[in-house]
Structure 1
Amino acid sequence: MTHHKPTYSLVVIVFLFCTAFGFAQSDKQKALEAKRQQYQKELKQINALLFSDRKKEKSLVSLVEDLNTKINVRRNLIRITNDQANLLTREINANQNEISSLRDQLKELKQNYADMIVKSYKSKSEQSRVMFLLSSDNFKQAYKRLQYMKQYNNYQKEQGELIKAKTLKLQELNTDLLRQKKDKDKLVEENRIVKKQLEQELEEQEVLMASIRKNMKTYASQAKQKQQEIDRIDREIERLIREAIAASNKKAGKNTTATSKFVLTPEAKALAKNFESNKGKLPWPVEKGIVKVKYGKQPSPIDRTVTINSQGVKIATERGTQVRAVFDGEVSQILVIPNANPVVMIRHGNYITVYKNMAKIYVKKGDKVKTKDVIGEVFTNNSTGETMLGFGVYKDSQTQNPASWLYQM
């Protein structure tokens, strides 16, 4: 009877492998679903922050930028929903193949079990068993025959339990298959609605762009002037950071011409290390917000020939929104630039966070702040209706991508 054991073990191994594979697929689905919900949440915030009051007068440029933000997020939602549906298709196919395999295995097991029961029935009488033992040539042979009978009985029980397990697994797979098909149908239907909304938004975008193209020279000139103003503020911030590095190093007794990096005291080094350990987990500088301009170089949504060079991110928020420090630190500078709104700079060891376009400031240079301490209020442009905070992260004098530092940006 020992030749049956490897078959049983193989079935158990395959069963465990399929279960582990199912868990891996489930984890992928959970990750995709989390992303899908995040994009849905972003769309709700965009509607609340940028499209809640359509009567409010906004410039064509602002309307196009708002619509671009919405379109990009909606495209991401469509992409992630497609990924979910495709994964479900693969899971459904895998389940159907496993169901087919299980049915064949179950059929074979039942046939073998039936044959075994018939054979057992024919020789089940106590007299037959006793005669089988008594006909042994010696005690050793009788003992082996007794062990054989026990093994045969145990194998019968194992086969019965295996049939039960296979039947239960088959029922679970069938139930899971029905759920997967319903989930896929739901995703496909939701994606159909989202695609229809995207088509409407693209049509609206084209209408707005047609109006802009009629006077493209003026809008292109405004885009260039806007970028020049941004560059002017960024250059001033960079100058102040270099000065802060030089002053800090001089105070530490490091009279060096190299001013690109802070020389850190043990206390500042510990603060910087703590800041680094929270990378990707820092709170946003505003409670509610949508990223309208990402970090890095990108074409202008109005004139694709104009390149936007963003040293940080621009976060659209509500009128009157308070600005919060994203981490413990010290206010290193309150920057007031002619023809621009104030900027607050907070130092965290050799890191500096920058908060641009402030309307009110509640802190002063040298103040110690804690995470989420309110430092001021975002400026609202009454002519465009925009409430936009510029936020940047520097390591020494080098810019960082804020999306790598703030939670789920």
Structure 2
Amino acid sequence: MLQLVFLSHLIMKESIFRFLFIFLCCQIVSTTLSGQNINNLRTEREALLQEIDRTNRLLQSKQTTRETNLQQLNLLTREITIRESFLADIRNEISIIDASLEENQRQINQLENEIESIKTEYARLIQDTYKRRNALDELIFFLSANGFSEAYQRYRLLQEYTRYRQQQAEKLKTSQNLLFALQEDIQIQRLQKEEALKEIENEYTQLSSNRQQKNVLIRNLQREERWLREQLNKQQQQAEELENRILEYIRTSRAGTTGENFGDFKGKLIWPVSRGRIVNGFGEHPHPVLSNVTIKNNGIDIQTSGNDDVFAVHNGEISRVVAIPGYNTAVIIRHGKFLTVYANLRTVKVAQGQIVTSGANLGTVYREDNDSGGILHFEIWEENQKLDPVNWLVP
């Protein structure tokens, strides 16, 4: 009879051990993955916060004129986009926390059921031990054996039974500790969710303020529609002049060998300035103020936060240093069959024909005397095809 009882206990022991092992593995993997996802989101959010801070400094540094109102509008539009990305990251974090909370609660419910099973089993063991508490019972159990071999087997069974009872007590303690750890995790996750919800509330307030500022700027600029159209026509003519200079150079020059591996660095090129924000993207997009008006950009415009140095994004040869109305001075670098263009420079530190390496100082960005930052116009060409620089620069 004791052998049958012990075998049933042994089977139950194996199943419970298996559950605890699988449960612990799932808990470790689940906690690790959710933690990694949240850490990745927080790293991204930290970068977005730094970008918002730099954009705010640029906004505060601007003088209030018609020209700078348009620049401020571009900066505000950029900041609104960043804040929307920031909010999306927070919402993603909350979704991860909610999923983790749900999984932890499911595991807690399952673990509580298993603990009840262990307690019931352990109580049965204690009752069985109580029934056999008399040493005479154990002696009779040994003496009733058919020979020494069976008596020894019964002795081993009793030893295993005692060890199993101790293991059940330890298992109960381990399960209860695990349950406590899960409950602590849930408390921490609830606090994290509460903090994230507060962040969302704060960001919505800031976003609303940004949108109000943007609307005020748009209304102010709409009163200047005639001036805006004149400015747009002037800028388009200047952009065409720069494009014609580049195309003329392409027609009259041959691809060199310096920096010919440029194509291998797509998505890996350094930025042409150390600090700055893209305020006008590549390609065609609606005018921020004028209705039914499309503006075209052959590159990107980067708003800097000071009299920043401009750097070569890759090894190459200085092909042209030219003055362009509206772009001040432009530097064109050839990298094999590719070209990079750095326009709106105030000072230039290189000369035509000079070989430069990645990171070489080309000069400084032009800025107005009363302004704390300027705008670098940057283009990338593959022969006569314009490319979006964002796809080539390191994120």
TM-score bracket, normalised by the shorter chain, equals: 0.7 to 0.9
Q: Distance in 2 between matches of 1:222 and 1:53?
A: 19
Instruction: Measure, in 2, the Cα distance between the counterparts of 1:121 and 1:400.
Output: 85
Matched, 1:394 2:381: yes
Partner secondary structure for residue 336 of structure 1:
strand
Cα 1:405/1:248, change in 2 over 3 Å: closer
The two structures have a TM-score, normalised by structure 2, of 0.85
Residue 274 of structure 2: aligned partner: 287
| Farther-moved stretch of structure 1 (186-195 vs 346-355) | 346-355
One-letter code aligned to 1:326:
V
The CA deviation string for residues 251-298 of structure 1, in whole angstroms up to 9 with x for no partner, is xxxxxxxxxxxxxx6x855x447x52xx44443221211111223332
Of 312-321 and 48-57, more deviation after overlay is shown by 48-57
Moved more, 307-316 or 39-48: 307-316
> Which one of the candidate residues 158, 177, 184 is aligned to 2:167?
158
The one of 204, 208, 211 aligned to 2:220? 211
Query: Paired residue for 1:248, among 240, 255, 260?
Result: 255
Task: Return 5+ residue gaps in structure 2 as ranges.
Answer: 1-6
Aligned to 1:336: 323
Distance 2:93 2:294 in 1: 35
Q: Describe how 1:98-113 pairs up with structure 2 within 5 A.
A: 98-113=107-122
**Distance (whole Å) between structure 2 residues aligned to residue 282 and residue 150 of structure 1:** 71
Partner of residue 88, structure 1 = 97
SS in 2 for 1:248: coil
Provide the C-alpha distance between the structure 2 equivalents of 1:240 and 1:132, rounded to a whole number of angstroms. 106
Secondary structure at the counterpart of residue 374 of structure 2:
strand
8 Å CA contact 1:224, 1:306 repeated in 2: no
1:3 aligns with 2:11: yes
Partners of 1:304 and 1:157 in 2: how far apart?
A: 81
In structure 2, what is the Cα distance between the partners aligned to 1:401 and 1:150?
77
Kept in 1, the 8 Å contact 2:318–2:353? The answer is: yes
1:3-402 alignment to 2 at 5 Å? 3-4=11-12, 5-52=14-61, 58-123=67-132, 127-138=136-147, 141-142=150-151, 144-241=153-250, 243-244=252-253, 247-248=254-255, 271-272=261-262, 275-276=264-265, 279-338=266-325, 340-381=327-368, 387-402=374-389
For residue 295 of structure 2, give the secondary structure of its aligned residue in structure 1. strand
Q: CA deviation at 1:305?
A: 2.1
> Would the aligned equivalents of 1:64 and 1:302 in 2 still touch at CA under 8 Å?
no
CA deviations 1:5-25 (Å, max 9, x no partner) are 133213311321232122111
The AA in structure 2 aligned to 1:248 is A
The offset of 1:161, in angstroms, is 3.0
Q: 1:133 to 1:308 in 2, by over 3 A?
A: farther
Paired AA for residue 243 in structure 2:
D
Q: Using a 3 Å threshold, how does the CA distance of structure 1 residues 132 and 40 change in structure 2: closer, same or farther?
A: same
Partners of 2:326 and 2:135 lie apart in 1 by: 106
Shift of 1:101: 2.6
**Structure 2 vs 1, CA of residues 50 and 3 (structure 1 numbering), >3 Å: closer, same or farther?**
same
User: Shift of the alpha carbon at 1:33?
Assistant: 0.8
- The alpha-carbon deviation at position 235 of structure 1 amounts to 4.3
Change in Cα spacing, 1:42 to 1:116, as seen in structure 2 (3 Å) is: same
Is the CA contact 1:299–1:305 (under 8 Å) kept in the aligned structure 2?
A: yes
**C-alpha distance after superposition, 1:137-163 (max 9, x if no partner):** 356644554454344344334323322
| TM-score, structure 1 as length reference | 0.83
C-alpha displacement of 1:306: 2.3
Q: 1:360 to 1:98 in 2, by over 3 A?
A: same
Listed as ranges, the gaps of 5+ residues in structure 1 are 250-264
**In 1, distance between residues paired with 2:145 and 2:336?**
89
TM-superposed deviation, 1:396: 4.6
1:232-266 deviations in Å (ceiling 9; x for gaps): 4234324434544xx237xxxxxxxxxxxxxxx6x
Matched letter for residue 168 of structure 1: N
Q: How many aligned positions are there?
A: 386
CA displacement at 1:227 relative to structure 2: 3.4
Q: Per-residue deviation at 1:315?
A: 1.0
